[in-house]
A and B are shown apart, each in its own frame.
Chain A
Amino acid sequence: MLGWSSFEPFLISGLALGGVYALSGVGLVVLYRATGVLYLAFGAVGAMGAYLAWQTTPPNTPVGPVGWILCIVFCAVVTLAYGVIFGPPLAGRGPLVQAVCTLGLALVLFGVVDLVWPSSGGASRSLTLPTDNYGFVAGGVTVNTTQIISLVVGVVLTVGTGAFLRYSKLGTAMRAMANDREITATLGVPVRRVEAAAWLGCGVLAGVAGILLADLSALDDTTLVFTVVISALAAALIGRLRSITLTFVAALVIGLVHDLITPITSISDYRDMTPFVLAAIALLVVSRGQVMTRSREEA
């Protein structure tokens, strides 16, 4: 019934959506591997940073260096502060409690953002980047440079952080610390400093992702704090919160499936279930193995 040509533009938009999920999904996994904490406030911190960037950008102009710096600094400071203050008392409480605690931070930031930037009176905000206006045509639609950049950032993160965690001294320390804080400390690793470095790096990443996501999806608090993060979590779960590469690929697949379903009217209304269904299937299949039953996953 539907020919290939009617799916072609959705292939492009699906890749773009996958890029959004990849950016935050890979971010989540990188943070988890470096700090041992599933940082569910990733989207919330980035959202507030993006709102700050929007606030300091004159109307109808793209985000400039001031906005970028403000957003990244804000995210870095908040994330570092959270890590330094809440990291130690929660160490040893298991990844579940640590993850739920970051939800607390997410709720606080969500409330503050909605208080300071309400949507009353039809206020609709958008954040644009200079790269939005350049692109090429594929499948009958324009692919803009921001979308390419976000995919590239995703790839760079995937390759770069993978290599960093594996080969660099700091990266190895982070992995060791994320795995077992006490033992790492007895081995003479300056746990506090390594931890701080990990959180700081994560904050910077959340800031960069915050602006890109606000541009690619929406400068909307519910979307950035919950919707994008939960969908990206699906990708991260498919990557078992370990494999950055698998998360990246899963994110692209989720985005593609979601958008390719759009023109199929019989199931189109259910397309928003895509990340959840794929994650559930993947998890249930994967869980037949031993991966999930490591002792440290028991909270």
Chain B
Amino acid sequence: MNRREQRRSSRAGVAGAAVAVLVAVSAAAGCSSLNSGSGGKAASAPTASTPTVSTSKCGTKPGVKATGSPIVLGGITTKEPGTDFSDIGTTAAAYFDCVNDNGGINGHPVKYYPETEQTNPSQIASLAHQLVSTDHAVGIVGSSSIIECSVDNSYWKKEGFYVLGAGIDPECWSTPNTISVNMGPRYSSDGAVAHALNSHVSKIAFDQSNVPGTTYIAGGPNALAKAKHVPIQDFTENVPLTSANSVAIKLANAAGPSGAVVLNFTPPEALLILQAAQKLGLEDKVKEWGCSTPCNTDFLAKALGPKWNGKFFVNAELTPLNGDTSQTAGLYQAILAKYGKNVTGGVGSFSQMGFTDAEIATHALETVKGAYTVKSVNAAFKNIKNYVSGMQCQAFTYGNYSEHIPNNMDYTVTPDNGKMVLTQGCTAIPSVDPQIAAYRKLAGTAPQASSSGSGS
């Protein structure tokens, strides 16, 4: 080894040490993130009123730890940079922790596996296999992914599972054995478009991110607009957005001064378009701005500021929390406060979905007589009938139908001084969407409110 090589190797040593330091630093960063939720500020951003309900409400024997043989459940959620639905799984886990601390389900604790995926079909399939054949899960609860329904549906069917989740892709609403507590992009966009149509806009510009099934999603809003003889123009954008400014200009131009722009994006992308519109001075160039459910977050209300009060309307598929003092809302916040340390996004519609999934599943599991098997548990899920969760407009029914849209009545919220507030109570999604019509015919449900359908 000559001098130069020696020098190089000593430098390499320094570099190696630097790599080690980087490991340590990132480890510290990781740990701090685990302790403080999402970088401290994010977790505390959505306002939560002080919980007044005790967490003992989530079980039948308050304060008694469940010790029986565990009931194994699992769920798969998307978690990757920019798209993260993991709060649904972690909130379901928090709910079950609460159940386990209060007597469990007929004495049995729930062992819940919240798995996460990175929109990779083979990974999603392998996670499903893992839950069933390695973990011996008897029920799938709290799944929410951009493509999971589509990838795993036939597998769930084959194994006899009746999934209880929060769906996104078209398959989640159009199969016998998958049901969602949320409305999903299509029916939620329906709700947003219906609100705009009720404001008598002359045209609608509907824009969504380029995810699987965009034509299916656009089908609903197009049917609604057509029924009212209002022209509608569809757009899709590749995400992450490269130039939000040009998108905002395009949409404002397309809608025109008496038209409406309706967005179907994740909160960060929707925020980009709306902020671009605000910076460009376009917010008043159209009559109304609308958005599907994802925009229902206080993050957005805070970031947008007062210019959008009464100008921007967001469809909400679960009961809005601000000002909600019901028992369910109280329990939800109490559980997040006590068990939700892994729920990094805190209070919001994603954790609400996880809560609702777990709540409905717990109710169904309590009805099981005898052993908890795939057969008995999924039969119980399928038999859920008219369960009133405080989180939805309607009572929840699974039932033996070829498709499921159990949640088809929505709320509308609008930003008001950094919060999303209720502006329209339970309203049925119009049956002019052929899918909604088909479901209502199947389920024989005339739309009617059955729970806290209060609103202005």
Contacts and interface: CB of A to CB of B under 8 A. Distances in A.
Q: Do A and B interact directly, with beta carbons closer than 8 Å? A: yes
A62 to B, nearest CB: 12
Given A108-B22, A115-B29, A120 B84 contact: yes
A51 B40 CA distance: 12
Interface in A240-281: 255, 258-259, 262-263, 269, 271-272
8 contacts: A13-B243, A13-B280, A116-B32, A118-B344, A120-B79, A141-B280, A223-B241, A258-B242
Interface string A181-213: 000000000000000000000000000000000
Contact of B268 (A14, A81, A119, A231): A119
B437 interface: no
Interface in A1-57: 6, 9-10, 12-14, 16-17, 51, 55
Given A10-B246, A13-B243, A227-B240, A115 B418 contact: no
B246 A14 contact: yes
B191 to A, nearest CB: 17
A272 B345 CA distance: 31
Interface of A: 6, 9-10, 12-14, 16-17, 51, 55, 59-60, 81, 85-86, 88-89, 108, 110-112, 114-126, 132, 137, 141-142, 144, 217-218, 220-223, 227, 231, 255, 258-259, 262-263, 269, 271-272
A81 B242 contact: no
B250 A263 contact: yes
Contacts of B240: 218, 220, 222-223, 227
Contacts of B236: 269
Contacts of B297: 121-124
B29 A122 contact: no
B185 to A, nearest CB: 14
Interface string B84-118: 11110000000000000000000000000000000
Interface string B1-22: 0000000100110110010001
Nearest to B210: A269
B348 interface: yes
Given A121-B87, A221-B81, A89 B344 contact: no
B39 A81 contact: no
A271 B294 CA distance: 26
Nearest to A54: B41
Interface string B232-247: 0000101011111111
Nearest to A85: B18
A112 B245 contact: no
Interface string B275-309: 10001111000000000001001011011010000
Interface residues of B, number: 66
A120 B238 CA distance: 20
Given A121-B297, A220-B240, 6 more contacts: A6-B253, A51-B39, A118-B38, A122-B294, A142-B279, A227-B242
Contact of B243 (A114, A118, A123, A259): A259
Contacts of A117: 38-39, 42
Contacts of B351: 121
Contacts of B294: 122
A139 B281 CA distance: 12
B84 A17 contact: no
Interface in B112-143: none
A116 B33 contact: yes
Contacts of B84: 118-121, 123
A231 B238 CA distance: 15
Which of B236, B240, B346 has the most A CB atoms < 10 Å from its CB?
B240
Contact of A59 (B45, B87, B250): B45
Interface in B294-352: 294, 297, 299-300, 302-303, 305, 343-346, 348-351
Contacts of A14: 243, 246
B282 A141 contact: yes
Nearest to B279: A144
Contact of A122 (B243, B246, B249, B266): B266
Nearest to A123: B42
Nearest to B90: A120
A88 B9 CA distance: 11
Given A114-B81, A121-B351, A141 B249 contact: yes
B344 A115 contact: no
Which of B38, B267, B300, B350 has the most A CB atoms < 10 Å from its CB?
B38
Contacts of B238: 269, 272
B26 interface: yes
B245 A17 contact: yes
Contacts of A126: 271-272, 275, 303
Contacts of B247: 262
B420 to A, nearest CB: 11
Given A121-B348, A142-B281, A108 B82 contact: no
